[in-house]
């Protein structure tokens, strides 16, 4: 081993940083080189002093006040986060509540609207039906039995299947216009009759209701 090599690794003897073989070679060199032996002695003394210094500061640690300051800082940092978080939670719940209210109101509106539309659909249908039967309150479909219809003068024989039957309320005198004989004494009386009307709208027969028939029979 040369002196330069001893300076490079010889001072690490006893530290575990060099192998035992290198330590042996370094020791052999120091035994033959007074300069390197003096260097090794000097370093050994310095190392002892360094170890005393190291021991003096080995237990050193930051004062407790440092930890206190840091924890204060940590709390100060956390406070705005907590505030933001709380605000966020409140805002989220508020939004959720608002969304729920909107959903409920929308559903309610939809239901109301839907019900109204359904009613609308039914009512026009009824109205249409009523319009197609103009005498819904005054004209009623009479008994389909046309056997009792009295053919009007000049009318062709017509089955009730071929025409429409209307219940008509009229003054008795009006029967005269249809060509039927009428007692003038009760001409102003209101009677109900069934009219058999052909497709072309001309009345083909008449059927008197019981009371009207009785009054006619009495005549």
Partner 1 sequence: MNVLGERDDVLLRRAAKGDEIAFTELYRRHQASLYRYALRMTGSPWAAEEIVQDVFMTLIRQPKKYDSDRGEVGAFLFGITRNRVLKHLERSPREFSLDQETGSGSSGMPVDLLTPAFWAERRERVEQVRDAVLSLPPEFREAVVLCELEELTYEEAAQRSGCPIGTIRSRLHRGRALLMARLELLRDVPRRASAGS
Give the residues lining the site for partner 1 (CB under 8 A): 7-8, 11, 17, 39, 42-43, 45-47, 49-50, 52-63, 66-67, 69-71, 73-75, 77-78, 81-82
∠ CA 126-130-134, rounded to 5°: 175
Q: How far is the CB of 5 from partner 1 (least distance, A)?
A: 12
Q: Cα–Cα distance between 75 and 52 in angstroms, integer?
A: 40
CA distances from 14 to 5, 17, 47, 48, 207 (A): 16, 8, 11, 13, 140
Give the shortest CB-105-to-partner 1 separation in angstroms. Answer: 39
Least distance (Å) from partner 1 to the CB of residue 36? 13
Residue 57 or 132: the one with the smaller Cβ distance to partner 1 is 57
Inter-residue contact 150 to 207 (CB < 8 Å): yes
Q: Whose Cβ is closer to partner 1: residue 77's or residue 132's? A: 77
Say if CB 44 and CB 15 are below 8 A apart. no
CA distances for 130 relative to 87, 134, 193, 194, 214, angstroms: 63, 6, 21, 19, 32
Are 168 and 195 in contact, with CB atoms under 8 Å apart?
A: yes
- Which residue, 53 or 107, has its beta carbon nearer to partner 1? 53
Cβ proximity to partner 1: between 60 and 218 the closer is 60
Smallest separation (angstroms) from partner 1 to the CB of 81:
6
Residue (8 or 122) nearer to partner 1, CB? 8
Nearest distance, CB of residue 57 and partner 1, angstroms: 6
**What whole-number distance in Å separates Cα of residue 69 and Cα of residue 81?**
19
């Amino acid at each position: 081993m040369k002196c330069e090599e001893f300076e490079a690794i010889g001072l690490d003897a006893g530290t575990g940083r060099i192998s035992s073989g290198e330590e042996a070679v370094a020791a052999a060199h120091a035994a033959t080189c007074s300069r390197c032996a003096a260097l090794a002695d000097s370093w050994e003394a310095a190392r002892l002093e360094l170890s005393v210094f190291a021991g003096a500061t080995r237990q050193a640690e930051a004062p407790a006040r440092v930890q206190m300051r840091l924890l204060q800082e940590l709390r100060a940092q956390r406070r705005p986060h907590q505030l933001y978080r709380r605000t966020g939670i409140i805002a989220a719940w508020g939004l959720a509540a608002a969304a729920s209210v909107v959903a409920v109101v929308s559903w309610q509106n939809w239901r109301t609207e839907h019900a109204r539309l359904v009613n609308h659909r039914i009512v026009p249908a009824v109205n249409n039906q009523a319009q197609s039967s103009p005498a819904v309150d005054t004209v009623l479909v009479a008994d389909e039995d046309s056997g009792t219809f009295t053919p009007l003068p000049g009318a062709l024989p017509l089955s009730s299947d071929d025409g429409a039957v209307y219940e008509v309320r009229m003054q008795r005198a009006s029967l005269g216009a249809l060509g039927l004989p009428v007692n003038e004494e009760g001409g102003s009386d209101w009677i109900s009759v069934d009219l058999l009307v052909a497709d072309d709208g001309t009345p083909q027969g008449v059927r008197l209701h019981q009371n009207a028939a009785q009054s006619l029979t009495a005549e």
